[in-house]
């Protein structure tokens, strides 16, 4: 079996997680699945090409974790966690900012 991937959560995504604090254990459990299956989430297109979206459910509805797989470092970099509705517009802004800052 190959080495697991690290799941890294950006500062902004940690704030997202704090907003979901009552469900943090469920979110972290969903993210932990990426350690063994980093490509579990579906691929995104357009301005989010290169990113993936992991779906999971919480009370209140569908949620997503948007992330990038870095095979060189064997890491999944999660940069957004939130409710499905409207998430991809925010994901575009964060993805662009992280690329500009050289973090992705």
Alpha carbon 9 to its chain centroid, in Å, reads 8
Q: For 4-44, how does the pLDDT look when each residue is reduced to its tens digit (9 = 90+)?
A: 999 999 999 999 999 998 998 999 999 999 999 999 999 99
Which of helix, strand or coil describes residue 72?
coil
Domain-by-domain residue ranges, the chain? Answer: 6-100
Share of the chain above pLDDT 70, in %: 99
Closest CA to 42 of 89, 98, 102, 88: 88
* Residue 48 in tokens: 């989010």
For residue 47, count other CB atoms closer than 10 A to its CB: 14
Residue with tokens 């970099």: 77
Q: In the CATH hierarchy, which top-level class contains the domain 6-100?
A: alpha beta
Please compute the mean of the pLDDT values over residues 59-83 and round it to a whole number.
95
Global pTM exceeds 0.85 = yes
């Amino acid at each position: 079996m190959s080495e697991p991937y690290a799941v890294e959560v950006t500062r902004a995504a940690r704030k997202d997680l704090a907003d979901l604090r009552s469900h943090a254990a469920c979110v972290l459990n969903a993210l932990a699945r990426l350690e063994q299956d980093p490509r579990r989430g579906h691929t995104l297109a357009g301005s989010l090409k290169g990113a993936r979206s992991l779906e999971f459910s919480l009370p209140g509805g569908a949620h997503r974790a948007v992330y990038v797989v870095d095979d060189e470092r064997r890491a999944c970099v999660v940069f957004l966690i939130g409710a499905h509705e409207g998430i991809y517009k925010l994901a575009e802004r964060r993805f662009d900012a992280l690329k500009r800052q050289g973090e992705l």
